[in-house]
Chain A
Amino acid sequence: MHFRRTALIAAMAIALGATGAEAQEQRQKFNWWYGLSGQLGEVMQQYCRNFNASQTEFEIVCTGQGEYQDALQNTIAAFRAKAHPTIVQVYDVGTTDLMLSGQYVPARELMAQNGYTVKWDNYISSIGNYYATSKGEMLSFPFNSSTAVMYWNRDAYRAVGQEAPPATWQQVERAVRALKAQGHACPMAIDFDSWQHWEQFNAIHNLPMATKGNGFGGLDAEIRIAPLFRQHANTLYNWYKEGLIQVRTRQGGRNLPESFASGDCAMMMSSIANHAAITRTQKQGLDWTPAMLPLYEGHSRTNSMVGGASLWVLKGRPAEEYKGAAAFLNFIAQPQQELFMAQNTGYIPVTRAGYEGIKASGFYDRPENRGRDIAVESLLATEPTENSRGLRLGNFMQVRALYASEMQAAFAGQKTVDQALDAIESEGNKLLRRFEQTYRGKSLP
């Protein structure tokens, strides 16, 4: 008898608790899928908790979908099944596909309809332009952004009398030769990632990757290997043969950031987003700094290209969810949220106000953040040109894979670097033509 009473009370308590929870469920829910995992995934979850705590009207439900590629694949599958999230994080090269699909709500339209005024010119122009129409109207919200920088091991190079990072490739050559002469096994490491080694190289030298303004001018653009890049790729290969460079990939055991953080390799080109991870995992006492990517002598610096991902709002969700989406996108654009991102990840602020605020707070003066402002400076180096504002080349994930395969073939000695580059051009153009045919009759916004 006694037991039944307890059970009854317990049941009532549960029921009351449930109604209490239901009162909270009145918030409008909407979904966000992101493509970051590990520590970065936890930061995304923290973002969501902060947003939910900051207001009472909406509740964002955040789901990690693995890496960028997985997030895109899963979102496409969900979209086709009409079970997609309201907001999705899509990486830089997924931009062209999404733009052509037309299955998104443009950023400007979303914010205007929901009564938010956004200062669009506040976005750092080399970041905003990547996600904008050819007329400069932003279609998605830049979120976690990065660019490529050079990582420089001061300790190692101090030993050969070069403490400051080199600004030109000619200086890089002198430095790696000197270090090699001292018996260092790995003065510099590279991998086969097109982003930092090809795309960014062309951007900072103001060289086109493809005709038609890197594809902004139409889907019939054609990939062209710039002569300077051809020369550069051959140079890198010769250095590799001489033992000045080592190849460090995930398949080889240690990737670039790991090789650098362990002190194995004294120089590499990589994303600024790795700054945080290198700081966390570096060998005790390693003295290093990021620097801008080196240029060839006789060239002046153009801004580097933005990498990372942006947030897209997808069509086909109930109207109330878009109110929540707009509120969330407004939330992440606040300067304190940009600071939150910079503090917890290696990514950079995306607005000028955010950058100035973070700089003024003394963030970049702290030892663990040394040199991180280099990335923003590199993006701000000039106003974006036709060659450095971004890429609108279709099937570009496949072009990147093609670059990796062909360069591997060249470095393994199966073909010459020139043959590999020719293959990238001819087969890359086949991929572009296939893409053009798939989207026949459509044009980029």
Chain B
Amino acid sequence: MQRRATFRSPWLPWMLVLPQLLIIFVFFYWPTGEAFQWAFTLEQPWGGGREWVGWQNFAEVFSSQHYWSSVRISILYAVATSALAIGIGLLLALFVDREVAGSRGWRLALIWPYAIAAPAIGMIFRFVFDARAGVFSLFNAMMPGLWDPSLNGTHALLMLILAGAWQLVAYNFVFFLAGLQSIPRGLNEAAAMDGAGPLRRMRDIQMPLLAPTFFFLVIINLTDSFTNSFGLVDIMTAGGPARATDLMVYKIYSDGFKGLDYSGAAAQSIVLMGLVVALTFIQFRFVERKMHYR
């Protein structure tokens, strides 16, 4: 019983998908092709010529200690942000799903942050984390020099992780709440009648049934942290202090566009693309297939 749409003309389906294909070609395949070309040449910014250098750009990228430290902090950022955002998102969704007082209002309020652009979040959190005037300056009031994201790399990265997680919590919340609400009421009610308390029901019924949502969000959060952290970094730290927040996407931008090293940046972006493709592959191959309700 397979349903198939049939078209009288063999051209019609192609015409229908043509706009989409064109968009993908112009905004994805074309630039990617260009990046591949740049990655294997030394490109003069003003376009005066290029010299084929083979794998030199990649060799330089992989032999640079700054690149590896960028990879390290990108992974740290991605994992920490995702863990925090998923944990908090799940907790909030469980509360709202239990219809705690004011749930309706909370539901709306918790969806909003996702609509805020990253640079705006960056600006706001810069004020929050400001060592002299922000909320965090309380630490400095207690003990001078305790909090200084403008010189202390660990503080700066922590600040980015908190801001990044804050941004993702709303997204995760929406998915978790939808996931929770699609769990048949009957299961919960039956468990309640058998005497299972709310915590027990969360652990044994809601959480396992949320597993597909959970793994979907893990992949999306990780990918998002790798590629969408740019706006936050640019506004909050500009990669500093001392490269402590020079995440992979930001390094590509600053090497390529600020430093006009198009070829080095192209090589880095191909590495990053490979990483994101691998993550997506994992999602489709393993997670999607294995995580169906057992």
Contact = CB atoms under 8 A, between A and B. Distances in A.
Does B bind A? Answer: yes
A260 to B, nearest CB: 15
Interface string B122-165: 00001000111110000000000000111111001000000000
B240 A103 contact: no
Interface in A410-445: 411-412, 414, 434, 437-440, 442
12 contacts: A80-B47, A97-B260, A98-B46, A103-B48, A252-B151, A398-B258, A398-B259, A401-B258, A408-B240, A414-B153, A438-B42, A438-B44
A418 B262 CA distance: 31
B291 interface: no
B269 interface: no
A19 to B, nearest CB: 39
A164 interface: no
A101 B133 contact: no
Contacts of B53: 437
B3 to A, nearest CB: 45
A437 B260 contact: no
B240 A405 contact: yes
Given A252-B151, A406-B242, 4 more contacts: A251-B240, A408-B241, A434-B261, A442-B48
Contact of B46 (A76, A398, A401, A406): A76
Contact of A401 (B148, B237, B254): B254
A406 B53 CA distance: 29
A414 B46 CA distance: 38
Given A79-B46, A395-B261, A397-B258, A249 B242 contact: no
A174 interface: no
Contact of A395 (B130, B237, B260): B260
Interface in A64-115: 69, 72-73, 76, 79-80, 97-98, 100-103
A411 B259 contact: no
Interface string A203-216: 00000000000000
Nearest to B132: A253
Nearest to A102: B48
B243 interface: yes
B241 A251 contact: yes
Nearest to B159: A251
Nearest to B259: A398
B242 A397 contact: no
Nearest to A406: B242
B48 A76 contact: no
Contacts of B264: 434
Contacts of B44: 100-101, 438-439
B51 to A, nearest CB: 7
Contacts of A405: 239-240, 242-243
Nearest to A75: B46
Interface in B95-116: none
B238 interface: yes
A412 B153 contact: yes
A438 B236 CA distance: 33
Nearest to B154: A412
A254 interface: yes
A409 B156 CA distance: 13
Contacts of B241: 251, 408-409, 412
Nearest to B255: A398
Nearest to A396: B259
A432 to B, nearest CB: 12
Contact of B258 (A69, A406, A409): A69
Given A408-B151, A438-B51, A253 B130 contact: yes
A404 interface: yes
